[in-house]
Structure 1
């Protein structure tokens, strides 16, 4: 079970924001692009050690990521490209934001293990790999096993609630870490939990389809 399993309960609370975007004439794809741009601002803020400000922009990026789909449904502009673009945008934001933490040079493990700062960037790399693999498993599963049914524009499959640490958890941990001044702990948590979550999904698929 993860936060994604409750996605559709959260989205209804964002309908007022989606309505504002709709009245402003913002298309779903434009909102997705705004999500990427706010993610980039977050990354630059992290590089400049403005973790609090960066985390606020990351929070805005996450909200926009949810709102684009709502606007698509409200306006009847749901497309397969939109779903793919949204997915790709998420991964760009995740990578850019984590790279921002790495490029900031903040000590992650070198501060207390007295080792080369290169290892800090290594932890960031592990976090990025975990984030990518945790998501990469899903399209491979769609292609090889054949999930095609859709729910509100997105492919609906049993893997949705499998894996205890997905993108929502990653964003939440980063935001909380940035706001509280412990973003280095956030990166450690993400590096560990995303990879464990990916392993959990692999084990689930093995038991069900081998």
Structure 2
């Protein structure tokens, strides 16, 4: 959904690019740096420190904004850079979601482990539905959009972790929402790919 409103954040992206391009790091380096807070988030989740995990996840998400903004500001955007960014995004999200399996989260209807697994599956299938469509030449355009994309997934997860530190059942509900919406988004992208003539 944020994909449809990216113009609203264009000014913020330009500001981020101008500020962080002054630091002598390439856009690819900023992408790789996101692995660090993701590993910290995993560590915090393993030790049931949800509030700290929320902060680490937020930093990882912000680093993903920085890499693209720096690439545009320094005019170093490339296909290789975009590929590296995509791969790192999957690692970051995967590491953080795997950490959730070590957290004591109240069950809602089905075991929480199943909910987390569905969330992980949906998050990765949302991305794969897009890349598979291009690989199989079902479309020449990039498939984007859906009910929830990566930025929104991370934002919801951060909110859930922050609230879950004091109200665990709310975090359980947010995980259920993430599990449902990520898979619905994947199905939406599959439908878009198959409807292209």
Cα distance in 1 between the residues matched to 2:28 and 2:10: 18
Report the Cα distance in structure 1 between the residues aligned to 2:10 and 2:35, rounded to whole angstroms. 19
Q: Who is 2:163 aligned against?
A: 180
* Alignment of structure 1 residues 29-48 onto 2, 5 Å: 29-48=28-47
Tell me the residue number matched to 1:166: 149
> In the TM superposition, what is the alpha-carbon distance from 1:75 to its structure 2 partner?
1.4
Structure-2 residue corresponding to 1:135: 127
String of CA shifts for 1:62-101, please: whole Å, max 9, x gaps: 1110110111121122222110110011111111111111
SS in 2 for 1:145: coil
In structure 2, the CA distance between the partners of 1:11 and 1:32, relative to structure 1 (3 Å rule), is farther
**CA gap 1:40/1:133 in 2 versus in 1, 3 angstroms:** same
Residue 203 of structure 1 and its aligned partner are, at CA, apart by 2.1
CA distance in 2, matches of 1:160, 1:205: 10
- Counterpart of 1:196 in structure 2 is 184
Instruction: Report the RMSD for the aligned CA atoms in angstroms.
Output: 2.0
TM norm structure 1: 0.82
Residue equivalent to 2:50: 51
Deviation, structure 1 residue 146: 6.5
**1:8 Cα offset (Å):** 4.4
Residue in structure 2 matched with residue 151 of structure 1 by the alignment: none
Q: How many residues in Structure 1 have an aligned counterpart in Structure 2?
A: 192
Are the equivalent residues in 2 in contact too, given 1:39–1:58 (CA < 8 A)? yes
- Partners of 1:32 and 1:194 in 2: CA distance: 23
Aligned residues of 1:59 and 1:175 also touching (Cα < 8 A): yes
Deviation at 1:28, TM superposition (A): 0.6
**Structure 2: runs of 5 or more not aligned:** 165-169
Give the Cα–Cα distance (whole angstroms) in 2 for the partners of residues 208 and 146 of structure 1.
7
Which runs of structure 2 are paired with 1:69-108 in the superposition (5 Å)?
A: 69-108=68-107
What secondary structure is seen at the aligned counterpart in 1 of 2:34? helix
Gaps of 5+ in 1: 149-155
CA distance in 2, matches of 1:143, 1:86: 18
